[in-house]
Amino acid sequence: MKSSLKRWEFLLLSLYAFAFYIVIICRSLQLSHEHFRRLSGLRRGWITYRLNDLSDAQWRNFRGNLPVLTVVMAIFTMVANTLKMKCSLKERGMSIIWLFISLCYLSYLHGACIIFILSIASVNFLLVKIFAQYKYFLFVLWSFNISFLLCNRIYEGYPFFIFGRRWAFLDNYRGTFRWHICFNFVVLRMISFGYDYYRACRDYHFDEEKHIQRCHICSSGKACYFLLQERRLPIKKFSFSVYMCYLVYAPLYIAGPIISFNAFASQLDMPQKNVSVGQMAWYGLRWVLSLFLMEVMTHFFYYNAFSISGLWKQLSPLEVFIIGYGVLNFMWLKFFLIWRYFRFWSLTAGIEAPENMPKCINNCYDLESFWKNWHASFNKWLVRYMYIPLGGSQKKLLNVWIIFTFVALWHDLEWKLISWAWLTCLFFIPEIVVKSAANAYQVKNAFGEFVHRELRAISGAITITCLMVANLVGYVIGPSGINWLVSRFLQKDGWPVLGGMFITFYVGTKLMFHIHEARHKR
């Protein structure tokens, strides 16, 4: 496509997108104003005396505890960094310091339930050290961790009285936060430790020199996350103190981002140098601005309250689309703020973790790129510890079912999450097939390039629609709402909305093409 035509296309697409967001904002304001009396979860706000949507428990708890959490973050980080400088502590010393600090943190969060965490973690450490030399070790590792992942949920964190009356009094000291919710992340870390130790005990070879030549970060004298993760560590670094420090490391304990054991242990001795003090300050300022954006959003648009209250069932198809689209953007911004907060804390302590939300939800037009940019550290974990061991791209159509089923069970034991996982897998299959065909297709002239681009845009519009449906089923309406959703949009007033959705997502996909091409040229 000629550059002049591209400029005109970009201008028209931008005008459409601007008009689309004007309609969405105006209609959202009207919906919130008309129905706020019937919505649950609204609280008195601070912006022009408006009500604030605090219907999401996770966001409400994080927002409410933010002042205390920030004070704790500052004190813990200052103590650890001061001791490191004064005592010239290395890996073992820093692991003990952070382990002590983190156990104090966990004692406040979980009270006596810290016993369960330490007990399960210790048994896992023994299993790794004893069975890592055997061929069936990975089966033992996964069986042990998945068993506890499920049992923790089924038995709701094991009340102490089931172990005998003499222990029942400990149920009065279970802390302020359910330990088995946080333990989901500990399970990922225990598997990471076991797998990295298993590889360290074998003749695993990573061509470090070749990687440094190709990587612009590593070639500049720094170390990228991939190098830290893949570089083989000495066996002595897999000590109990470093292992326990890794599992309960305070900045990343509650919500991540998820970091591999290799990458974590490497940075205990040599703190990260990729992010300077100035860059960290800018990172923190951007977070504060994003928090203000969230406050504006929850004061004026009550998307999540609509989904919690079930009021969306009484709305028109257009209004259902607006609420659904708004809920997904609310969820993205919520996780963006939570994950970046804890990553910032970890950076100030000298440990760089992967960015969980490197790209906006509105800048992804296929499932693969979406999952690489939504909880990206979990995606890296899944690729390293599940996807590649299961056969990688050679068995991709089978692997997605196993991996997404695990992801659903890891989140919670709910049918709507299983439905979300399997719907995502169903939508993944045509994308994999289409991508394979597109990669095999050779563009020979300008017309062929035009056709190829249009087909990609149509495919992107279909994928975004499928992604919205899967996430609405998983996080809003549940599997029982699928029939209602389909019947509602297949009625007479639903067809124009479906058409408008498809055109909007088609326009959005083509805009993303322009953005990606501009970045590539830059």
d(CA 284, CA 11): 34
pTM of the model: 0.90
- DSSP bridge partners of 44: 51
Through-space distance between the first and last CA atoms of the chain, rounded to whole angstroms: 19
Decide: helix, strand or coil at residue 276: coil
Neighbours of 333 (CB within 10 A): 20
Under a CB-based contact definition with an 8 Å cutoff, are residues 42 and 51 in contact?
A: yes
Segment 489-492 long-range contacts (CB within 8 Å, at least 24 positions apart): 489/317, 489/320, 491/317
pLDDT value of position 101: 92
Decide: helix, strand or coil at residue 219: helix
Under a CB-based contact definition with an 8 Å cutoff, are residues 108 and 175 in contact?
A: yes
Element (H, E) at 52: strand 51-53
d(CA 171, CA 510): 56
pLDDT value of position 176: 87
Under a CB-based contact definition with an 8 Å cutoff, are residues 335 and 483 in contact?
A: no
Tens digit of pLDDT at every position of the chain (522 positions): 567 777 888 899 899 999 999 999 999 999 999 988 888 889 998 998 899 999 999 999 999 999 999 999 999 889 888 888 888 777 788 889 999 999 999 999 999 999 999 999 999 999 999 998 888 999 999 999 999 999 988 888 898 988 888 888 888 999 888 898 889 999 999 999 999 999 988 877 777 788 888 888 887 778 888 888 888 888 888 999 999 999 999 999 998 899 999 999 988 877 777 888 899 999 999 999 999 999 999 999 999 998 888 777 788 888 888 888 888 899 999 999 999 999 999 999 889 999 998 888 888 877 777 888 888 899 999 999 999 888 887 887 788 899 989 998 898 877 777 887 888 888 777 777 766 666 666 656 676 777 777 877 888 888 888 777 777 766 666 666 667 777 777 777 778 888 888 888 888 888 888 888 877 776
- DSSP bridge partners of 51: 44
pLDDT value of position 30: 93
Nearby residues of 93 by Cβ (< 8 Å), 6 or more positions away = 84, 87
pLDDT value of position 325: 86
pLDDT value of position 333: 94
Which one-letter amino acid corresponds to residue 285?
Answer: L
d(CA 243, CA 236): 11
